[in-house]
Amino acid sequence: MKPASGKKLTLSLNSLQESSSEPVYRRGVQYYRRKKVLKYEETEGGQKIDALVIGSEPQPYKVHVEIESEEVFKAECSCPYFEEVCKHSVAVILTHIARGNPGIRFDLAENDRGRDNQQERAPKAKDMLDDAKGAEPDPDDQRHQLGVLVLEKPLALIVGTVPQEKQGKVNILKVPPEFLNVLEPESRIYRLTKYLTQLPQTTKGIAGGHRIPRGDEGTVIGHLSLCSKLVNTADGSEVSFSNKVIKPLAVLSETESGELLLKLEARDEEGNSLEHPVFFLGQSSWVMSKHTFYSIDLSAIHRLFQFFDAHGQMTVKLEIVPKFLAVDLPILQKRMDVRLDETTAPFPVAVTDAPRVVIKLGERKGVPTTAIGSGPNDVSLEVSLSFGYGALVLPSRDETSAVESELYTRTMSETGQSVWVKRQWELEHQVRRFLSNLQPTRTIADRFFFADEAALDALYYLSSEQCAEWEVAGIDALKNYKVRKEPLKLKAKLSLKKDSFKFDFDLDCSSNGEAIPFPLVIESLFRNRNYLKLSSGECVRLPMTTLLSLLKTIGQSKDTSRPLYQALPIAHALETHEIEIDADQGFQNFLQKIHNFRELEGIELPESFDGELRTYQKEGFNWLSFLREYGLAGILADDMGLGKTVQALALLLDHHKDGKKKMPSIVVAPTSVVYNWLSEAERFTPKLKKALFLGRDRGELLKTLQKDNAKKPDVIFTTYGIIRRDYETLKDLQFEFLILDEAQNIKNPESVGAIAAKSLKSFHRLALSGTPVENRLKELWSLFDFLMPDFLSTYKDFNETFERPIEAGLDGAGQKLRKIVHPFILRRLKSQVEKELPDRTDIIHLCELEDDQRSLYLDVLDECRQKVFNEIASRGIKRSQISVLAALLRLRQVCCDPRLLKNRGDAPAAASAKLSAFIAMIDEIIDEGHKILVFSQFVEMLTLIRAELEKAGIDYAYIDGQTPAKERLDRVNNFNADPKLPIFLISLKAGGTGLNLTGADYVIHYDPWWNPAVENQATDRAHRIGQTRHVFNYKLITRGTVEEKILALQKKKKELAELVMGGDESVAKELTKEDLEYLFSF
């Protein structure tokens, strides 16, 4: 049948797909895509096609195709494949179809072929067939004969029946399923037949036999050896099975491109290799040679089976050769016999060990550098950097030339051996960065040039322990640059001069036993030279950081005598820098005592002391006496209520007991407690001569103090307000002791009170404060600047060394400060020393705003927020503090009671939710027979509370800042003594310190204060020694308002106070913009 005139006949794709098996079609598509069709020619209007196709053989295969219609064709190919339509024919026909349909695509996906791709899954050979190991053949089954066909490219094992006559290329047929009906059920041949007939059909019709899935060939071959005779259908010869023991050998050789060829050999017991072996690799492995199957154990390489071809060869690609040499080959050599082919060159190796640093030193003259005068006689130090990998030494490569993506580098050794080096670029770059950080004047590839002190630095570090494992050559041959390995040695000599409260400090310098004059060291230091050249021509490195730090600590005074309170900072600096200390016995005894004061021998209390000190109070008295003995000063920082006053009075009594003529001592206290000092002194130290330096009458006392022979009191009590007014006069007087009670009053070093206190003259100084740090570490510095000037250096140095690093959260800064100040601060907590003091319970009582009050709060919040942040935007946060505090004050007033808020017109004030909650709370507490302290910052709020109490008929006591000091004490005593007086209203600032109110066991803070230390001091009016009941401490907080947010900021302040005293190392910060955003939110 010929096509109509002018119309070319084109075969349909569907007909080709229906005529070819699936694997053949897929391979044909691949051949077509790879353009393996050559010399394609069509004749007779395209009905006859002749072409050459590149295949697996050296010569291409000849293909002839005749097309009868769009659905019918015949194809012949010179290849040995047994199907009528082979992959070569498919590739040629696809070329034909493409010419008739320009732009057509041939895909490999099964669903594009128009066939049912839901093939049944192939059965597992191991589940149906027998393992040949240890099994004996069944004689009855040996009468059956099957054919096998072995294809080598690609490897395939085909099993089937042998046709009576060969038809074309078809030399093997499928096993008909009907055979199962004539075989004995469950016999070996039956199970084999069942397995074969259940395999997916990969060829059309009965031709082609059954292709065994890859990996199952070994199991099938083993089962065949037990139940059937075999014929090789390719040539009709008999296939046999051998029982010979066959051992595998892996032969490794290197190709010209650097890849590795791994070839398997099968050897008999005599060591002879089987000829032309074909390997079937799987759970059970076999090798075929000269029509004979041999069993072979290849389990050692089971993970590599998929990479081998039919002849047992695989190629190790170039990119994985290094890993194979370094990791896989050693494992393979342990599992099976391996022969390395070294007929042309030694077998390649991989070096994975960490490299050795190899450095060669030399001196070069005239090397151009950017330095003016590169070094001695313009000679530079040349450092050549290489890295040793195994026996290879490779020059360093800078970051621009190093190909870091190349994990391995292939290098040829002198013997022609390929060496794969695992370049450890990061380690190499670390060494290069190390040398670069030593500031070379020039770098050329692997060479670094150094001059002057940079060259000395390079030599010093290359000779140090840090580079001890490096191979450094040429150092002894250097003439211009010589550096001693050890830096300058420092030794401190310390000796005590107790009578003058001083100690002597000297610093000896030496190198290799040779004494170095200290002035030469200082001269080099001030010339900013890191090395000192000795008479021998060698240079010794100066410990610049250590020397500068020491000079900063000890100062630059030429006088070797120093105040004794500097001993600890200096000793700490010496220990920090690991400088040897040679201290005399007196100085050693002093250090032992100051670090272990609790082990000091107890000092007897004066007989005239009228009272008894508890154990911890005796320890405090001993500590204070020790400070006095050595002319030192300190802070007694015991918790509120632990008796700081009585410990200080015992010290004063002991100091003035001998009747010798001495100068008076002076105690400065807040106005609210100065009378309490007088009362306590009369109680415990009645024989001390006491006087009050207060009021208008103080002029007479001043005259007495100014007279040389006048009869003067032992102790004078005064207030901070008085010394602020009179310090110009008082600073001319000499005192024995100057004691500051509630010493946080001088926390601001620029305040008049601090200036006044520091101007007074005394032989001894002491500070009493339960809260030496309230907000910032500057407060601690101010206290020590009063106690022992220069102990913590200037504030500028203190800020740089301690305050800023601690605020930044740097590790170790807080511990370093604590180690210095710890011997001069004595702090005991109630929980540590006073077991009989009842614990207290802190309770946050949340109050919910009513609608009107909440609405008012939101209005004020919006108004304040807009005003504050506008001012911050225009003036900055530091210059807006007054507006910030004013805004926060208004918000807190709304929380307490809207009536506190001014300038709101004639609108009726909203009811106070907090006041309502407070009245309900106290009614219940009073009914249960308890007594209450109520603290508020706002005097007006206390006025409103008083009105509510009077309306309810509840008696109360009251003090604020206007209450005279003596009257305060009377009211305190009356409250403690009168069980019918249930409530004491107290202004926080007026009564937060110095009062003893143990008659109460409930404390209510009506409004929170910024500083938690102030609140705790107020609570400690009740929670102190003498209290026998459990103390409940309530804070009334309006939920969701600025009050609740103040509590969060209080935590920061608490952490700061605990830092220097031994608490957690974290620091409170002043209000930031983020803090304000937080506070002005609802």
Query: Where is mean pLDDT largest: 301-315, 368-382, 828-842, 1064-1078?
Result: 301-315
- Full DSSP string of 128-177: HS---TT----TTGGG-EEEEEEEETTEEEEEEBPPSS-BTTB--BPPPG
Q: What's the whole-number average pLDDT of the chain?
A: 85
Q: What is the arithmetic mean of pLDDT over 303-311?
A: 91
Instruction: Please check whether residues 800 and 654 belong to one and the same domain.
Output: yes
The region of weakest confidence among 137-146, 626-635, 781-790, 964-973 is 137-146
Instruction: Please check whether residues 668 and 799 belong to one and the same domain.
Output: yes
Instruction: Please check whether residues 749 and 644 belong to one and the same domain.
Output: yes
Q: What is the arithmetic mean of pLDDT over 773-802?
A: 90
Residue 1 binned pLDDT confidence (cut-offs 50, 70, 90): very low
Instruction: Please check whether residues 231 and 267 belong to one and the same domain.
Output: no
Distances (CA, A) of 913 to 278, 532, 627, 895: 97, 77, 53, 8
For residues 332 and 854, give the distance between their C-alpha atoms in angstroms, rounded to a whole number: 81
Nearest residue to 284 (alpha-carbon basis) of 338, 216, 194: 216
pLDDT, residue 983, reads 96
Strands 349-351 and 356-365: unpaired
State which residues form the domain around 728: 596-833
Residue where a domain terminates, one of 187, 215, 235: 235
The region of weakest confidence among 39-43, 370-374, 948-952 is 370-374
Instruction: Please check whether residues 656 and 684 belong to one and the same domain.
Output: yes
In the predicted model, is pLDDT for residue 228 greater than 50? yes
In the structure encoding, which two tokens stand for residue 946, read together? 């008083």
Instruction: Please check whether residues 231 and 243 belong to one and the same domain.
Output: no
pLDDT, residue 409, reads 80
Residue 393 maps to a domain: yes
Residue 5 maps to a domain: no
Instruction: Please check whether residues 571 and 608 belong to one and the same domain.
Output: no
Q: Please give the share of the chain, as a percent, with pLDDT higher than 70.
A: 89
Write down the pTM of the prediction.
0.47
- Output the domain CATH number for residue 1019: 3.40.50.300
Residue where a domain terminates, one of 808, 833, 858: 833
Q: What is the arithmetic mean of pLDDT over 32-56?
A: 90
Residue 436 maps to a domain: yes
Instruction: Please check whether residues 662 and 789 belong to one and the same domain.
Output: yes
Residue 896 maps to a domain: no
In the predicted model, is pLDDT for residue 810 greater than 70? yes
Nearest residue to 890 (alpha-carbon basis) of 916, 917, 867: 867
Between 648 and 235, residue with greater pLDDT: 648
Residue 119 maps to a domain: no
Distances (CA, A) of 759 to 180, 733, 736: 120, 10, 14
Instruction: Please check whether residues 497 and 421 belong to one and the same domain.
Output: no
Nearest residue to 456 (alpha-carbon basis) of 470, 439, 442: 439
pLDDT, residue 433, reads 92
In the predicted model, is pLDDT for residue 119 greater than 60? no
For residues 539 and 553, give the distance between their C-alpha atoms in angstroms, rounded to a whole number: 27
The region of weakest confidence among 46-60, 365-379, 742-756, 983-997 is 365-379
In the predicted model, is pLDDT for residue 249 greater than 90? yes
Residue 866 maps to a domain: no
User: What are the helix (H) ranges across 739-794?
Assistant: 752-759, 778-787
Residue 245 DSSP SS3: strand
Residue 1068 binned pLDDT confidence (cut-offs 50, 70, 90): very low
Residue 482 maps to a domain: no
Residue where a domain terminates, one of 340, 370, 405: 340
pLDDT tens for each residue of 666-695? 999 987 678 778 878 998 999 999 999 988
Strands 285-289 and 690-692: unpaired
In the structure encoding, which two tokens stand for residue 66, read together? 């005749």
- Output the domain CATH number for residue 624: 3.40.50.10810
Residue 855 maps to a domain: no
In the predicted model, is pLDDT for residue 836 greater than 70? no
Instruction: Please check whether residues 371 and 279 belong to one and the same domain.
Output: no
What's the total number of domains in the chain? Answer: 7
Instruction: Please check whether residues 220 and 281 belong to one and the same domain.
Output: no
Instruction: Please check whether residues 314 and 406 belong to one and the same domain.
Output: no
- Full DSSP string of 683-724: HH-TTS-EEE--STTHHHHHHHHH-SSS---SEEEEEHHHHH
Residue 1078 neighbours by CB under 8 Å, 6+ apart: 1045, 1048
pLDDT, residue 410, reads 83
